[in-house]
Chain A
Amino acid sequence: MAQVSSADPHDSAEQAARIEKRWAIVIVGIMALLVAVTIFTGLHWAMMPPSRVETIDPSTLHVSGEFVESNLGSAVEANGSVTVRIIGQQYSFTPQCIVVPAKTPIVFRVTSADVVHGMLITGTNINSMVEPGYIATFKTEFDQPGNHLMPCHEFCGVGHEAMWANVKVVDKDVFAKMAANTRRLSCDL
Protein backbone atom coordinates (compact mmCIF):
# COMPACT_ATOMS: atom_id res chain seq x y z
CA MET A 1 0.00 0.00 0.00
CA ALA A 2 1.26 3.36 -0.94
CA GLN A 3 2.21 5.37 2.05
CA VAL A 4 1.60 8.85 0.84
CA SER A 5 2.87 11.04 3.53
CA SER A 6 0.95 14.20 3.29
CA ALA A 7 2.64 17.09 1.61
CA ASP A 8 0.44 19.18 3.80
CA PRO A 9 2.03 20.68 6.88
CA HIS A 10 1.59 18.99 10.18
CA ASP A 11 -1.26 21.07 11.56
CA SER A 12 -3.92 20.24 8.98
CA ALA A 13 -3.92 16.70 10.32
CA GLU A 14 -4.11 18.04 13.82
CA GLN A 15 -6.89 20.37 12.93
CA ALA A 16 -8.84 17.53 11.40
CA ALA A 17 -8.35 15.48 14.53
CA ARG A 18 -9.54 18.38 16.64
CA ILE A 19 -12.76 18.76 14.65
CA GLU A 20 -13.35 15.04 14.85
CA LYS A 21 -12.85 15.03 18.55
CA ARG A 22 -15.36 17.83 18.97
CA TRP A 23 -17.88 15.95 16.88
CA ALA A 24 -17.33 12.78 18.88
CA ILE A 25 -17.96 14.70 22.10
CA VAL A 26 -21.17 16.14 20.68
CA ILE A 27 -22.35 12.65 19.69
CA VAL A 28 -21.55 11.11 23.03
CA GLY A 29 -23.33 14.08 24.60
CA ILE A 30 -26.47 13.46 22.52
CA MET A 31 -26.46 9.80 23.46
CA ALA A 32 -25.92 10.64 27.11
CA LEU A 33 -28.88 12.99 26.92
CA LEU A 34 -31.07 10.23 25.49
CA VAL A 35 -30.03 7.89 28.25
CA ALA A 36 -30.70 10.64 30.79
CA VAL A 37 -34.22 11.06 29.41
CA THR A 38 -34.74 7.33 29.76
CA ILE A 39 -33.57 7.42 33.35
CA PHE A 40 -35.73 10.44 34.13
CA THR A 41 -38.91 8.90 32.73
CA GLY A 42 -38.04 5.65 34.44
CA LEU A 43 -37.88 7.41 37.80
CA HIS A 44 -40.64 9.93 37.30
CA TRP A 45 -43.34 7.58 36.04
CA ALA A 46 -41.83 4.46 37.57
CA MET A 47 -41.73 3.03 34.04
CA MET A 48 -39.72 -0.09 33.61
CA PRO A 49 -40.03 -3.01 31.23
CA PRO A 50 -41.17 -6.34 32.66
CA SER A 51 -38.78 -7.66 35.28
CA ARG A 52 -40.88 -10.10 37.22
CA VAL A 53 -39.49 -13.50 36.29
CA GLU A 54 -41.62 -16.42 37.40
CA THR A 55 -41.92 -19.90 35.96
CA ILE A 56 -44.89 -22.21 35.48
CA ASP A 57 -45.54 -25.53 33.75
CA PRO A 58 -47.63 -24.76 30.64
CA SER A 59 -48.98 -28.29 30.24
CA THR A 60 -50.77 -28.29 33.60
CA LEU A 61 -52.24 -24.79 33.61
CA HIS A 62 -55.76 -26.19 33.35
CA VAL A 63 -55.26 -28.76 36.09
CA SER A 64 -54.38 -26.66 39.10
CA GLY A 65 -53.09 -23.29 40.19
CA GLU A 66 -54.22 -19.78 39.41
CA PHE A 67 -54.63 -20.36 35.66
CA VAL A 68 -57.42 -22.95 35.91
CA GLU A 69 -60.27 -21.95 33.66
CA SER A 70 -62.62 -20.90 36.46
CA ASN A 71 -60.03 -18.46 37.80
CA LEU A 72 -59.30 -16.64 34.52
CA GLY A 73 -60.54 -13.13 33.87
CA SER A 74 -60.68 -10.09 36.12
CA ALA A 75 -60.66 -10.47 39.89
CA VAL A 76 -61.29 -7.68 42.36
CA GLU A 77 -58.73 -7.72 45.14
CA ALA A 78 -59.16 -6.64 48.72
CA ASN A 79 -57.09 -3.49 48.16
CA GLY A 80 -59.36 -2.35 45.33
CA SER A 81 -56.99 -3.28 42.54
CA VAL A 82 -57.94 -5.72 39.81
CA THR A 83 -55.94 -8.78 38.82
CA VAL A 84 -56.49 -9.98 35.25
CA ARG A 85 -55.40 -13.51 34.43
CA ILE A 86 -55.13 -14.53 30.79
CA ILE A 87 -53.97 -17.64 28.97
CA GLY A 88 -52.69 -17.42 25.41
CA GLN A 89 -52.99 -20.62 23.40
CA GLN A 90 -53.20 -21.63 19.76
CA TYR A 91 -55.31 -19.67 18.65
CA SER A 92 -57.17 -17.67 21.24
CA PHE A 93 -56.80 -15.81 24.47
CA THR A 94 -58.96 -17.00 27.33
CA PRO A 95 -60.94 -14.98 28.24
CA GLN A 96 -61.60 -13.76 24.73
CA CYS A 97 -63.09 -10.54 25.90
CA ILE A 98 -61.44 -8.84 28.85
CA VAL A 99 -63.32 -6.34 30.93
CA VAL A 100 -61.54 -3.94 33.28
CA PRO A 101 -62.46 -0.76 35.13
CA ALA A 102 -60.98 2.61 34.22
CA LYS A 103 -58.84 4.58 36.68
CA THR A 104 -58.03 1.52 38.76
CA PRO A 105 -54.66 -0.15 39.33
CA ILE A 106 -54.56 -3.36 37.31
CA VAL A 107 -52.14 -6.26 37.49
CA PHE A 108 -51.94 -8.49 34.44
CA ARG A 109 -50.86 -12.10 34.84
CA VAL A 110 -50.45 -13.74 31.46
CA THR A 111 -48.93 -17.00 30.33
CA SER A 112 -49.00 -19.36 27.38
CA ALA A 113 -50.21 -22.94 27.24
CA ASP A 114 -48.18 -23.94 24.20
CA VAL A 115 -45.97 -21.69 22.05
CA VAL A 116 -44.71 -18.12 22.21
CA HIS A 117 -47.49 -15.58 21.82
CA GLY A 118 -47.59 -11.85 22.33
CA MET A 119 -50.22 -9.34 23.27
CA LEU A 120 -50.71 -5.67 22.68
CA ILE A 121 -53.71 -3.52 23.43
CA THR A 122 -54.27 -1.00 20.65
CA GLY A 123 -54.28 2.63 21.63
CA THR A 124 -52.25 1.96 24.78
CA ASN A 125 -48.63 1.15 25.49
CA ILE A 126 -49.52 -2.26 26.92
CA ASN A 127 -47.37 -4.76 25.11
CA SER A 128 -45.98 -8.04 26.37
CA MET A 129 -44.60 -11.30 25.17
CA VAL A 130 -46.54 -14.33 26.35
CA GLU A 131 -44.19 -17.26 26.68
CA PRO A 132 -44.75 -20.84 27.74
CA GLY A 133 -42.97 -21.62 30.98
CA TYR A 134 -43.07 -18.02 32.23
CA ILE A 135 -45.70 -15.77 33.73
CA ALA A 136 -45.69 -12.20 32.47
CA THR A 137 -46.74 -9.91 35.31
CA PHE A 138 -47.19 -6.22 34.68
CA LYS A 139 -49.06 -3.34 36.24
CA THR A 140 -51.02 -0.70 34.44
CA GLU A 141 -54.01 1.60 34.63
CA PHE A 142 -56.53 2.63 31.95
CA ASP A 143 -57.35 6.35 31.81
CA GLN A 144 -60.81 6.17 30.30
CA PRO A 145 -63.53 3.76 29.22
CA GLY A 146 -63.36 2.43 25.67
CA ASN A 147 -63.01 -0.61 23.47
CA HIS A 148 -59.64 -1.88 22.32
CA LEU A 149 -58.41 -4.70 20.14
CA MET A 150 -55.91 -7.14 21.57
CA PRO A 151 -54.15 -9.07 18.80
CA CYS A 152 -51.56 -11.75 19.37
CA HIS A 153 -48.45 -10.06 17.96
CA GLU A 154 -46.04 -12.96 17.77
CA PHE A 155 -46.21 -15.66 15.11
CA CYS A 156 -47.73 -18.69 16.88
CA GLY A 157 -48.61 -21.01 14.02
CA VAL A 158 -50.88 -21.21 10.98
CA GLY A 159 -53.87 -19.73 12.77
CA HIS A 160 -51.96 -16.74 14.12
CA GLU A 161 -53.85 -14.28 11.91
CA ALA A 162 -57.09 -15.15 13.72
CA MET A 163 -55.85 -14.68 17.26
CA TRP A 164 -57.60 -11.50 18.31
CA ALA A 165 -59.20 -10.65 21.62
CA ASN A 166 -61.10 -7.60 22.81
CA VAL A 167 -60.60 -5.36 25.80
CA LYS A 168 -63.49 -3.38 27.23
CA VAL A 169 -62.58 -0.65 29.65
CA VAL A 170 -65.72 0.33 31.56
CA ASP A 171 -66.53 2.95 34.12
CA LYS A 172 -65.52 2.12 37.67
CA ASP A 173 -69.13 1.99 38.90
CA VAL A 174 -70.30 -0.16 36.03
CA PHE A 175 -67.52 -2.57 36.78
CA ALA A 176 -68.40 -2.64 40.46
CA LYS A 177 -71.98 -3.59 39.57
CA MET A 178 -70.77 -6.37 37.29
CA ALA A 179 -68.44 -7.62 39.98
CA ALA A 180 -71.23 -7.87 42.51
CA ASN A 181 -72.60 -10.98 40.83
CA THR A 182 -69.50 -12.95 40.05
CA ARG A 183 -66.00 -13.39 41.36
CA ARG A 184 -64.25 -13.58 37.98
CA LEU A 185 -65.29 -11.27 35.20
CA SER A 186 -65.01 -11.39 31.46
CA CYS A 187 -67.17 -10.10 28.62
CA ASP A 188 -67.12 -13.39 26.74
CA LEU A 189 -70.43 -14.09 25.00
Chain B
Amino acid sequence: MNSERPRLISLRNPWFTASVGGTLVVLLFSMFVGFIWLPSAQNDALFKGLLDSICSAAGVPRAWLSETSPPVTPQQPVSSVVLTPEMLIGPDTRGSIGRGATLALRCTMCHGARGVSAANTPNLAGQYGPSIYKELRDFQSGARTSAVMAPMVVGLGDQDLRDLSNYYASLPRANSTSAPSAPDIVATGAPMRNIAPCGSCHGGMVNKLGAPWLSPQPRSYLKDQLEAFAQGTRHNDISAQMRNIARNMTPDEIDASVGYYAGNK
Protein backbone atom coordinates (compact mmCIF):
# COMPACT_ATOMS: atom_id res chain seq x y z
CA MET B 1 0.00 0.00 0.00
CA ASN B 2 2.75 2.38 0.97
CA SER B 3 4.49 2.01 -2.31
CA GLU B 4 1.21 2.59 -4.13
CA ARG B 5 0.09 5.67 -2.26
CA PRO B 6 2.22 8.16 -4.16
CA ARG B 7 0.59 7.01 -7.35
CA LEU B 8 -2.88 7.84 -6.05
CA ILE B 9 -2.07 11.44 -5.28
CA SER B 10 -0.28 12.19 -8.49
CA LEU B 11 -0.91 14.38 -11.49
CA ARG B 12 -0.30 11.31 -13.61
CA ASN B 13 -3.28 9.58 -12.05
CA PRO B 14 -6.26 10.58 -14.22
CA TRP B 15 -8.69 9.80 -11.39
CA PHE B 16 -6.90 12.25 -9.16
CA THR B 17 -6.64 15.04 -11.70
CA ALA B 18 -10.22 14.60 -12.94
CA SER B 19 -11.84 14.50 -9.52
CA VAL B 20 -9.77 17.23 -7.93
CA GLY B 21 -9.80 19.37 -11.06
CA GLY B 22 -13.53 18.95 -11.59
CA THR B 23 -14.31 19.78 -8.00
CA LEU B 24 -12.07 22.80 -8.13
CA VAL B 25 -13.76 24.11 -11.27
CA VAL B 26 -17.21 23.72 -9.73
CA LEU B 27 -16.04 25.34 -6.52
CA LEU B 28 -14.45 28.33 -8.23
CA PHE B 29 -17.39 28.81 -10.56
CA SER B 30 -19.97 28.65 -7.77
CA MET B 31 -17.89 31.01 -5.66
CA PHE B 32 -17.67 33.48 -8.51
CA VAL B 33 -21.43 33.37 -9.03
CA GLY B 34 -22.34 33.36 -5.36
CA PHE B 35 -19.92 35.97 -4.13
CA ILE B 36 -19.61 38.33 -7.08
CA TRP B 37 -22.13 37.87 -9.87
CA LEU B 38 -25.42 37.42 -7.97
CA PRO B 39 -24.76 40.04 -5.29
CA SER B 40 -24.04 42.57 -8.04
CA ALA B 41 -27.71 42.33 -9.07
CA GLN B 42 -28.84 43.43 -5.62
CA ASN B 43 -30.19 46.91 -5.27
CA ASP B 44 -28.21 47.68 -2.16
CA ALA B 45 -25.15 49.87 -1.79
CA LEU B 46 -23.46 47.40 0.53
CA PHE B 47 -23.32 44.81 -2.27
CA LYS B 48 -21.71 47.18 -4.77
CA GLY B 49 -18.05 46.93 -5.54
CA LEU B 50 -15.95 43.79 -5.54
CA LEU B 51 -14.79 43.85 -1.93
CA ASP B 52 -18.18 44.86 -0.53
CA SER B 53 -19.94 42.22 -2.52
CA ILE B 54 -17.56 39.47 -1.43
CA CYS B 55 -17.65 40.50 2.22
CA SER B 56 -21.41 40.83 2.29
CA ALA B 57 -21.96 37.52 0.54
CA ALA B 58 -19.50 35.88 2.91
CA GLY B 59 -21.56 37.04 5.86
CA VAL B 60 -19.20 39.56 7.43
CA PRO B 61 -21.26 41.36 10.08
CA ARG B 62 -22.02 45.00 9.33
CA ALA B 63 -24.75 47.55 9.97
CA TRP B 64 -27.40 47.03 7.32
CA LEU B 65 -29.73 49.80 8.24
CA SER B 66 -29.22 52.71 5.92
CA GLU B 67 -31.20 55.95 5.79
CA THR B 68 -33.82 55.47 8.42
CA SER B 69 -35.93 57.63 10.67
CA PRO B 70 -34.55 57.97 14.21
CA PRO B 71 -35.96 55.55 16.82
CA VAL B 72 -39.15 56.63 18.54
CA THR B 73 -38.49 56.88 22.25
CA PRO B 74 -41.07 55.58 24.72
CA GLN B 75 -43.73 57.97 26.05
CA GLN B 76 -43.89 56.17 29.38
CA PRO B 77 -41.18 54.37 31.32
CA VAL B 78 -40.75 50.73 30.29
CA SER B 79 -38.88 47.98 32.04
CA SER B 80 -35.14 48.20 31.66
CA VAL B 81 -34.31 45.05 33.60
CA VAL B 82 -31.94 42.74 31.75
CA LEU B 83 -32.94 39.15 32.39
CA THR B 84 -30.35 36.40 32.18
CA PRO B 85 -30.51 32.93 33.71
CA GLU B 86 -27.70 33.57 36.16
CA MET B 87 -28.72 37.12 37.07
CA LEU B 88 -29.33 36.34 40.75
CA ILE B 89 -26.56 33.86 41.24
CA GLY B 90 -23.94 35.47 43.45
CA PRO B 91 -20.98 34.19 45.41
CA ASP B 92 -22.90 34.05 48.68
CA THR B 93 -26.49 32.92 48.24
CA ARG B 94 -26.95 31.96 51.87
CA GLY B 95 -25.76 35.39 53.05
CA SER B 96 -28.01 37.00 50.49
CA ILE B 97 -31.01 35.09 51.79
CA GLY B 98 -30.14 36.09 55.35
CA ARG B 99 -29.89 39.77 54.47
CA GLY B 100 -33.10 39.45 52.52
CA ALA B 101 -34.88 38.04 55.55
CA THR B 102 -33.94 41.12 57.54
CA LEU B 103 -34.96 43.49 54.79
CA ALA B 104 -38.25 41.61 54.38
CA LEU B 105 -39.44 42.72 57.79
CA ARG B 106 -40.81 45.84 56.13
CA CYS B 107 -42.84 43.68 53.74
CA THR B 108 -44.58 41.45 56.28
CA MET B 109 -47.47 43.82 56.82
CA CYS B 110 -48.85 43.08 53.38
CA HIS B 111 -47.03 39.97 52.15
CA GLY B 112 -47.25 37.92 55.35
CA ALA B 113 -44.60 36.84 57.83
CA ARG B 114 -43.34 34.03 55.59
CA GLY B 115 -44.33 35.44 52.23
CA VAL B 116 -47.86 34.04 52.31
CA SER B 117 -50.28 36.87 52.18
CA ALA B 118 -53.52 37.08 54.11
CA ALA B 119 -54.64 40.15 52.20
CA ASN B 120 -55.17 40.76 48.51
CA THR B 121 -51.47 41.12 47.91
CA PRO B 122 -49.31 38.65 46.05
CA ASN B 123 -47.87 35.61 47.75
CA LEU B 124 -44.12 35.80 47.43
CA ALA B 125 -43.07 32.55 49.11
CA GLY B 126 -41.40 30.32 46.57
CA GLN B 127 -41.84 32.86 43.82
CA TYR B 128 -39.14 32.72 41.12
CA GLY B 129 -36.31 35.03 42.21
CA PRO B 130 -35.84 36.78 38.86
CA SER B 131 -39.56 37.54 38.71
CA ILE B 132 -39.51 39.27 42.12
CA TYR B 133 -36.35 41.15 41.27
CA LYS B 134 -37.73 42.38 37.97
CA GLU B 135 -40.91 43.74 39.54
CA LEU B 136 -38.99 45.47 42.34
CA ARG B 137 -36.74 47.15 39.81
CA ASP B 138 -39.74 48.16 37.74
CA PHE B 139 -41.42 49.68 40.79
CA GLN B 140 -38.22 51.65 41.37
CA SER B 141 -37.97 52.88 37.80
CA GLY B 142 -41.66 53.66 37.55
CA ALA B 143 -42.16 51.17 34.75
CA ARG B 144 -44.74 49.56 37.00
CA THR B 145 -46.84 51.92 39.04
CA SER B 146 -48.19 51.24 42.50
CA ALA B 147 -48.99 53.83 45.15
CA VAL B 148 -48.12 51.30 47.84
CA MET B 149 -45.00 49.75 46.41
CA ALA B 150 -43.33 52.87 45.04
CA PRO B 151 -42.45 54.34 48.46
CA MET B 152 -41.47 50.89 49.77
CA VAL B 153 -38.66 50.44 47.27
CA VAL B 154 -37.25 53.93 47.51
CA GLY B 155 -33.79 53.83 48.95
CA LEU B 156 -33.22 50.13 48.38
CA GLY B 157 -30.02 49.38 46.53
CA ASP B 158 -29.65 46.83 43.76
CA GLN B 159 -28.11 44.29 46.15
CA ASP B 160 -31.04 44.80 48.54
CA LEU B 161 -33.44 43.88 45.76
CA ARG B 162 -31.39 40.80 44.95
CA ASP B 163 -31.34 39.77 48.61
CA LEU B 164 -35.08 40.19 48.93
CA SER B 165 -35.66 38.18 45.79
CA ASN B 166 -33.39 35.38 46.94
CA TYR B 167 -35.05 35.33 50.35
CA TYR B 168 -38.59 35.03 49.07
CA ALA B 169 -37.57 32.52 46.43
CA SER B 170 -36.12 30.34 49.18
CA LEU B 171 -39.34 30.14 51.21
CA PRO B 172 -41.71 27.17 50.80
CA ARG B 173 -44.66 27.85 48.54
CA ALA B 174 -48.14 28.13 49.94
CA ASN B 175 -50.09 24.96 49.29
CA SER B 176 -52.33 25.50 46.36
CA THR B 177 -55.64 24.04 47.45
CA SER B 178 -56.39 21.03 45.31
CA ALA B 179 -56.36 22.52 41.85
CA PRO B 180 -59.58 22.24 39.90
CA SER B 181 -59.12 20.91 36.39
CA ALA B 182 -57.75 23.64 34.19
CA PRO B 183 -60.19 25.55 31.99
CA ASP B 184 -59.52 25.52 28.26
CA ILE B 185 -57.96 28.96 28.22
CA VAL B 186 -55.35 27.80 30.75
CA ALA B 187 -54.66 24.36 29.27
CA THR B 188 -54.67 25.10 25.56
CA GLY B 189 -54.93 28.86 25.21
CA ALA B 190 -56.27 30.02 21.87
CA PRO B 191 -53.66 29.69 19.15
CA MET B 192 -55.15 31.94 16.53
CA ARG B 193 -55.50 34.72 19.06
CA ASN B 194 -51.88 34.17 20.04
CA ILE B 195 -52.77 32.98 23.54
CA ALA B 196 -50.35 30.26 24.61
CA PRO B 197 -51.20 27.88 27.45
CA CYS B 198 -50.53 29.76 30.72
CA GLY B 199 -48.24 26.97 31.93
CA SER B 200 -45.88 27.41 28.99
CA CYS B 201 -44.48 30.51 30.76
CA HIS B 202 -45.83 30.61 34.32
CA GLY B 203 -44.55 27.25 35.53
CA GLY B 204 -46.45 24.00 35.39
CA MET B 205 -44.84 23.18 32.07
CA VAL B 206 -42.02 25.70 31.77
CA ASN B 207 -40.99 28.86 33.58
CA LYS B 208 -40.13 31.69 31.25
CA LEU B 209 -37.49 33.88 32.79
CA GLY B 210 -39.19 36.85 34.44
CA ALA B 211 -42.68 35.35 34.37
CA PRO B 212 -44.11 34.71 37.86
CA TRP B 213 -45.49 31.56 39.44
CA LEU B 214 -49.23 32.10 39.75
CA SER B 215 -50.65 29.37 41.91
CA PRO B 216 -52.10 30.46 44.21
CA GLN B 217 -52.40 34.23 44.07
CA PRO B 218 -55.30 36.33 45.31
CA ARG B 219 -58.23 36.45 42.94
CA SER B 220 -58.66 40.20 42.84
CA TYR B 221 -54.94 40.79 42.37
CA LEU B 222 -54.77 38.43 39.40
CA LYS B 223 -57.85 39.91 37.82
CA ASP B 224 -56.68 43.49 38.27
CA GLN B 225 -53.33 42.71 36.70
CA LEU B 226 -54.77 40.82 33.73
CA GLU B 227 -57.16 43.64 33.01
CA ALA B 228 -54.45 46.23 33.43
CA PHE B 229 -52.31 44.33 30.89
CA ALA B 230 -55.31 44.07 28.56
CA GLN B 231 -55.95 47.80 28.71
CA GLY B 232 -52.27 48.66 28.55
CA THR B 233 -52.33 50.51 31.85
CA ARG B 234 -49.73 48.05 33.06
CA HIS B 235 -46.92 47.95 30.55
CA ASN B 236 -43.77 46.76 32.28
CA ASP B 237 -43.88 43.39 30.51
CA ILE B 238 -40.85 43.31 28.26
CA SER B 239 -41.71 43.90 24.60
CA ALA B 240 -45.42 43.55 25.38
CA GLN B 241 -45.16 39.81 25.97
CA MET B 242 -48.09 39.75 28.44
CA ARG B 243 -50.14 42.55 26.90
CA ASN B 244 -50.10 40.54 23.66
CA ILE B 245 -51.84 37.72 25.52
CA ALA B 246 -54.17 39.66 27.79
CA ARG B 247 -55.70 41.99 25.24
CA ASN B 248 -56.86 39.04 23.18
CA MET B 249 -58.64 37.36 26.10
CA THR B 250 -62.38 37.68 26.50
CA PRO B 251 -63.79 38.73 29.91
CA ASP B 252 -64.99 35.16 30.43
CA GLU B 253 -61.54 33.81 29.72
CA ILE B 254 -60.00 36.28 32.15
CA ASP B 255 -62.44 35.12 34.82
CA ALA B 256 -61.81 31.46 34.09
CA SER B 257 -58.05 31.76 34.27
CA VAL B 258 -58.18 33.93 37.38
CA GLY B 259 -60.51 31.44 39.00
CA TYR B 260 -58.15 28.60 38.21
CA TYR B 261 -55.01 30.23 39.54
CA ALA B 262 -56.69 31.78 42.59
CA GLY B 263 -58.07 28.42 43.70
CA ASN B 264 -60.30 29.33 46.63
CA LYS B 265 -58.27 32.36 47.63
Contacts and interface: CB of A to CB of B under 8 A. Distances in A.
Interface of A: 39, 42-44, 46, 48, 51-55, 59-63, 65-72, 75-79, 83, 87, 89-92, 94-96, 109, 113-114, 135, 137, 139, 157-159, 161-165, 183-184, 188-189
A79 B68 CA distance: 9
A92 B65 contact: no
B147 interface: no
Name, among A51, A65, A94, the residue most crowded by chain B CB atoms within 10 Å (CB to CB).
Answer: A51
Contact of A135 (B64, B205, B244): B64
Contacts of A48: 38-39, 41-42
Contacts of B245: 92
Nearest to A96: B244
Contacts of B154: none
Interface stretch (B95-103, B160-168, B191-199): B191-199
Nearest to A152: B194
Contacts, number: 156
B197 A162 contact: yes
Contacts of B80: 62-63
A54 to B, nearest CB: 5
The majority secondary structure among interface residues of chain A is loop
Contacts of B39: 48, 51
B28 interface: no
A144 to B, nearest CB: 22
A165 B106 CA distance: 44
Contacts of B248: 96, 189
B197 A51 contact: no
A62 B238 contact: yes
Contact of A91 (B73, B84, B201, B239): B201
Given A46-B43, A69-B239, A162-B197, A53 B65 contact: no
Contacts of B109: none
Contact of A89 (B46, B72, B239): B239
B151 interface: no
B42 A159 contact: no
Contacts of B180: none
B6 interface: no
Interface in B70-126: 71-75, 78-80, 82-84
B140 to A, nearest CB: 15
Contacts of B206: 157-158
